[in-house]
Every structure is written in C-alpha cells, then in structure tokens.
Amino acid sequence: MKVLISVVGRFHAFDLARSLYKHNILHKLVTTYPKFVAKKFGIPRSHVISEAILEVLARLSRKFSFLNYEKINNLVKLLHDKNCSRYVSKSDVFIGWSGISFNSMIRAKKLGIPTILERGSSHVRFQNLLLKEEFESLGLTQELDFEKIKFDEKEYEITDYVSIPSTFVLESFLSQGFPKEKLIVNPYGVDVDQFPVENNRTEHFKIIFVGGGKIAKGFHYLLQALHELNDPEIELIHVGHFAEEMNHFREKYYNAKVSYRGIKPQAELYKYYGEAHAFVLPSLTEGMAMVQLQAMCCALPILSTTNTGGSDLITEGKEGFIVPIRDVGALSEKILFFKNNRELTEEMGRKGREKVLNNFTWEHYGDRYVQNIKERLS
C-alpha cells in the first residue's frame, strides 16, 4: 500500500507521515514546507515533495500589508492542490487536508483511488453558524463565508471518508445531515519529549490559557469568570496572540491578575505550563485543541468546554472537568475547585499525564490511523 499525503504548511501532517513511513506505507508527503523541516520529523527527503516557493509566497503576503493575504493564500492552496493532483496516480490511498484537496480528490476518483479528507475542525457550516450567533449576541458583526462553506462541503461530498479528531466534530457533522459511515474519529497526539513536567509553581494559584485570545476561543467568558470571582489569589497566564476584538472585554473585565505573556515558541511552552496549577480552555468550537494534550502531558488538570474535543481525552472528575460553552458560573466553580483542592488537583494532573502517555502520543495516533486505513480501504 502506498499513501500520498497533501498539506499546505505542516499541521500534524508531518507526525502522520512519520508514522506511515515507519509502517512502510508512506508514498509521498506533498507540502509547502522545505524538505529539511520534514527530515527533522524523521521523514526522508526521498519521501517528500516540497513546494517551498508557495510557502515563501504565503509568508510574504502576511508580512507586507500591501499584498492581499487572503487572495494570495487562496492562490497558494489552489496551486498546491493542482500540483499535488499530478502525483495521485502513483498512490493507492490519498489523504488531503480540508480546504486544499478538491482537485486532487477529483483526480483520485477518476482513477478509482480511495480518499480521506483530514478535517481538524467542526463541520464548516456548523462552525460558521455558531460563531455568527456568538458575534451577534455580543452586538458584533460576523458574516457567513458562503463560498468557503460551499467549497468545503464539496470536498466532504466527494471524499470517501473524513478523518476527524473528536466526538464533538462527529456530532457537528451529524447535525448537518452528514452520513456517519463516512466519518472516522481519531484523537490527536502530542510529542511527549517536547512537553516534559517542569514544576515552576509557587503557592500563588495560577491557571493558564494557551492560544489566541479571541471570541472563538471563549476568552471573554474566562475574563468574565475571573472578574466575577474577584479573587486576588487567582492569577491567569495567557500565552498567545491577543486579538483586537477582545480589547473591549479586557477593559470591561479588567483584572490586574491576568498576565499577558504574548506569543511564545512551541518548544518553550512547557515552561509556562510548569508555572500553572491547571489549564483552562473555554472555546466555542475546536476540533481537538492540541493545547489540551500539551497541558496534560505537563501534568496539568484540564477545564474545557464540550466543544473542544476534551471529552475524548478526560474522564469527568478524574483528569479534569468538561463544562458547557458560555457557562461562566461553571467555569468559576471549577476554577475555585482547583484552587481549594490542591492535592486533588495535582493528582488529576498526574493521571492526565499517565493517560496521554498510554493513549495520546503521535505514535498512538499514527497506529490508529494505519489500522483505520487497513480496515476500511484495504
């Protein structure tokens, strides 16, 4: 069996490609990243087709404001897809990332080659409607991207299977009438060597949020929860970009105990996890937020919403807690629980790390992926 993987950028495609290579079924990884990056992941240059010029083009469009990033980014995706379609004929299975794989899948269909669409987020229509509803509830405007919705749904329709990372994503697809038999649930993994346990905690209680501080991440609800708790003994560490749309909420729910650390390299994140006692993610919609796995690997208990993929990672009350989206009271209650039950909180963190080591490394993810391919496509 020869598997072709197509991705713009990296995402977790390199982790998947490494696993398929170890199982001796990787044909080629087609990516916009240079070959030397893939080699760092243990993927030989001979198994990589690099379109680095497209990556350069995309990055330049982000750097220079006079360039239209959205148009150039869409062009990069289209060129990559059309280029990748030329390599499909020499493979037995095609795996393509959502939003960049339509032409390659058309080509695979004509050749009778099975296809798997890799979708990391909830169903595109479900996702757009949920965020539109949220923005409107806050008195803000969020237009539906109908072109994006139609394009993604065409990929959903044409592919044989959609690989998704969580039960939440499964439910989002089913809510849109998508056939369950075409969905493959496979939770993500984490690089355990990159996220060791680094205990830099003090007695002062700290929680951590890693990711973009924006509405889609429910960051405003976390700020509100801390504002209403008004507990000077609770500090929030935020690692990541802070979106302009959140400025109003930062002022409205001002809290001197929120420490904004900015964007940090992934290789350094374990140090920040090591400062905290618990991890909080109040997102409105994720596929499976990998920061949850990172935090668990660093021995932190998890407080996430039902829409983060966290339900597939933890057992309620054992490695953390799952609360409904938009539920400020539930967030406050569980944050106080962590603060007031330090020994139990530490025990939850230890159990979370053990669960990751036993079930959610990238090796586990790859092994499950290979098994799914063999069971469904052989």
The arithmetic mean of pLDDT across residues 224-248, rounded, is: 97
Distance CA 4, CA 10 (A): 15
Q: Which two tokens stand for residue 367?
A: 């092994």
Q: Are 258 and 283 in contact (CB under 8 A)?
A: no
pLDDT at 90: 94
User: Nearest 5°: CA angle at 18, between 58 and 378?
Assistant: 110
The arithmetic mean of pLDDT across residues 267-296, rounded, is: 97
Structure confidence by residue, pLDDT tens digits, 50-91: 999 999 999 998 888 788 888 999 999 999 999 999 999 999
pTM of the shown model: 0.95
Q: What is the DSSP letter of 181?
A: G
Nearest to 238 by CA among 206, 218, 254, 261: 261
Neighbours of 274 (CB within 10 A): 18
pLDDT at 66: 82
Distance CA 320, CA 207 (A): 13
Q: What is the DSSP letter of 171?
A: H
pLDDT at 142: 82
Classify 161 as helix, strand or coil. strand
Nearest to 88 by CA among 155, 182, 2, 180: 2
Domain ranges across the chain: 3-189+361-377, 205-359
The correct answer on CATH 3.40.50.150 for the domain covering 3-189+361-377 is: no
pLDDT at 246: 95
Residue 378 predicted with pLDDT over 80: no
Please indicate whether the domains covering 3-189+361-377 and 205-359 agree at the CATH topology level.
yes
Q: Could you give the dihedral angle defined by the CA atoms of residues 315, 320, 324 and 328, in that order, rounded to the nearest 10 degrees?
A: 170
Neighbours of 173 (CB within 10 A): 22
Amino acid at 354: E
Classify 50 as helix, strand or coil. strand
- Residue 157: exposure state from Cβ atoms within 10 A (0-12, 13-18, ≥19): exposed
Spell out the residues 6+ positions from residue 50 whose beta carbon is closer than 8 angstroms to its own: 31, 32, 33, 34, 35, 38
Spell out the residues 6+ positions from residue 78 whose beta carbon is closer than 8 angstroms to its own: 103
Residue 233 predicted with pLDDT over 90: yes
Distance CA 60, CA 68 (A): 10
pLDDT at 143: 83
pLDDT at 230: 95
pLDDT at 70: 86
Which residues lie across from 296 on neighbouring strands?
none
Distance CA 250, CA 237 (A): 14
pLDDT at 132: 95
pLDDT at 63: 85
Classify 342 as helix, strand or coil. helix
Average predicted confidence (pLDDT) for the chain: 96
Phi and psi at 50, nearest 5°, equal -100, 135
Structure confidence by residue, pLDDT tens digits, 314-367: 999 999 999 999 999 999 999 999 999 999 999 999 999 999 999 999 999 999
Least confident of 2-16, 134-148, 263-277, 293-307: 134-148
* Helical packing angle, 146-158 and 102-111, nearest 10°: 20
What Cα–Cα distance (Å) separates residue 284 from each residue in 93, 111, 129? 34, 40, 11
Specify the CATH class of 205-359 in words: alpha beta
Which residues lie across from 207 on neighbouring strands?
236, 278
